[in-house]
Amino acid sequence: MNIKAVILAAGKGTRMKSETTPKVLHKIMGKTLLGYVLDNVKRITDEQFIIVGHQADDVKNFIDKNYANAKTVLQSPQLGTGHAVSMVCPSLENYNDLVLILCGDTPLIKEETLTKFVEFHRSNNSDITVMSTIFENPTNYGRIVRENDNSLKCIVEEKDASPDQKLIKEVNAGIYCLDWSKVKSAFSQLKSNNAQGEYYLTDIISWGKTKNLSVNAYILENSDEIYGINSRSNLATATAIMNKRNLEKYMEQGVTIVDPNSTWISEDTEIGQDTVIYPSTYIEGKNKIGKNCKIGPFAHLRGEVEVCDNIKIGNYVEVKKSKISSNTNVGHLSYIGDSELGERVNIGAGTITANYDPLSKTKSKTVLGNDVKIGSNTVLVAPVKVEEGANIGAGSVVTKNIPAWSLGITRSPLKILENWVKNKLG
């Protein structure tokens, strides 16, 4: 594998109406749009270049923190998509293999699709391959115009298209595969003689034709995969498409989704066979759920959660960054955060792991050994450890470690004031 990726992520995303978050860092089920693109391209490329511009520092910080093989390249000012790609030319001066170009706001693209796209490029001995797709209503998209031999002739934008060209339903999907040794010189020769005064990536098609290069278009079967995010409405639509795709995958793998219309599960969650997900459950981020579990209804898994086999996470339970071992029950109305629960643990209703210190702004861990029983309405103030077999009485606030097979309880004596109500009523 010797493929580089260039991901365009410099745009402002004006229609998102966001002052604090760059468009590509908006999230779907706990994961950024750019994160989806990177995760699906990083397995088929050995290096990724992300073109940044608007709020560049935020995007760079995200990349530096999460992706070791990715590099950010600043585009300033932003003078179009062709200009954006030209920013990587110095870094790829001595590189002569394939370059894959994508947009950072298309989170639905699949790794399998990109693999097929590259295979098409190679098998057809292409120098330039553009991904296309078919839209019944192609309005506002660049039309794919083909030669008689079915190779790509040109891409015509809507405003420049003739009446006959506007009838074409095959459109530009905005993903490119380039033989870099043949095409890299194009980026120093593009012209900006258009109304916007920008350098367009699509112009490499006509440039390639003048150089007698092999230029082709690969038709993407599922047009949903190149759905771009430009607004909050687009974000909601993409989330729904992705969720439907995820739920279908889990059901094919032997997971019961009781109500797909009210259930949301991220693509980075693994779920074992015969697990049942009840209605109104929301699972975001990266998680691993075992076999024969029951999750929900109204459960929320917030990411970095490992749930072993035969677990019950009941209604109105929130779990975050925790491991729950086999045959454990977290029945209802509880919060489990930054915790490690052993096997055969029972968590009573209303139990809270108090993991956050607002003064130091630090989070600490709660550890429950095997066979621990926690009574209802208990607060476990981390850092704290309840060792094997210990029981905690209902209504307790636990601030100290509890030895194995002990009873921990904090409870004021019950007072009964006889006839108190009658006296009050006179």
CA dist 174 to 105, 200, 216, 268, Å? 11, 11, 13, 25
26 is catalytic: no
Return d(Cα 9, Cα 2) in angstroms, integer: 23
Return d(Cα 255, Cα 274) in angstroms, integer: 5
CA dist 313 to 251, 270, 308, 348, 373, Å? 19, 16, 11, 12, 15
Report cis status (omega within 30 of 0) of the bond before 138.
no
Q: Which helix (H) or strand (E) holds 324?
A: strand 323-324
Among the listed residues 26, 54, 300, 332, the single catalytic one is 332
DSSP per position, 247-262? HHHHHHTT-EES-GGG
> What sign results for the dihedral spanned by CA atoms 188, 190, 193, 195?
negative
Report cis status (omega within 30 of 0) of the bond before 22.
no
Task: Classify residue 199 as left (phi > 0), alpha (psi -120 to 50) or beta.
Answer: beta
* Residue in the structure block whose two tokens are 């015509």: 156
Single-letter code of the amino acid located at 203:
D
Question: Known catalytic residues?
Answer: 332
